[in-house]
A = this chain, B = another copy of it.
Amino acid sequence: MARPSVEPIRRRDLVHAAIRAIHQRGSLDVTMSEIANFAGVSPALAHHYFGGKDQLIVASMRHLLTELRISVVFALRQAETPRERISAVINASLAPEQFDDETVSAWLTFYHYAQSSDDAARLLTVYFSRLKSNLAGPLRQLASTNEAMMIADGAAALIDGLYLRYGSRSGAPPRNLARQLVERYIDDTLAASAATSGLQARRDT
Contact = CB atoms under 8 A, between A and B. Distances in A.
Interface of A: 25-29, 105, 108-109, 111-116, 121, 124-125, 128-129, 132, 150, 153-154, 156-162, 164-165, 168, 170-173, 177-178, 181, 184-185, 187-189, 191-192
Number of identical monomers bound together in the oligomeric complex: 4
Given A108-B115, A109-B115, A181-B150, A157 B168 contact: no
A153 B171 CA distance: 10
Q: What 3 A-B pairs have minimum CB-CB distances, sorted nearest first?
A: A161-B161, A26-B116, A157-B161
A161 to B, nearest CB: 3
Contact of A111 (B116, B162, B164, B184): B164
14 contacts: A26-B115, A28-B113, A28-B115, A108-B112, A111-B111, A111-B164, A114-B168, A115-B168, A128-B165, A150-B181, A154-B184, A156-B161, A158-B161, A161-B161
Contacts of A112: 27-28, 108-109, 111-112
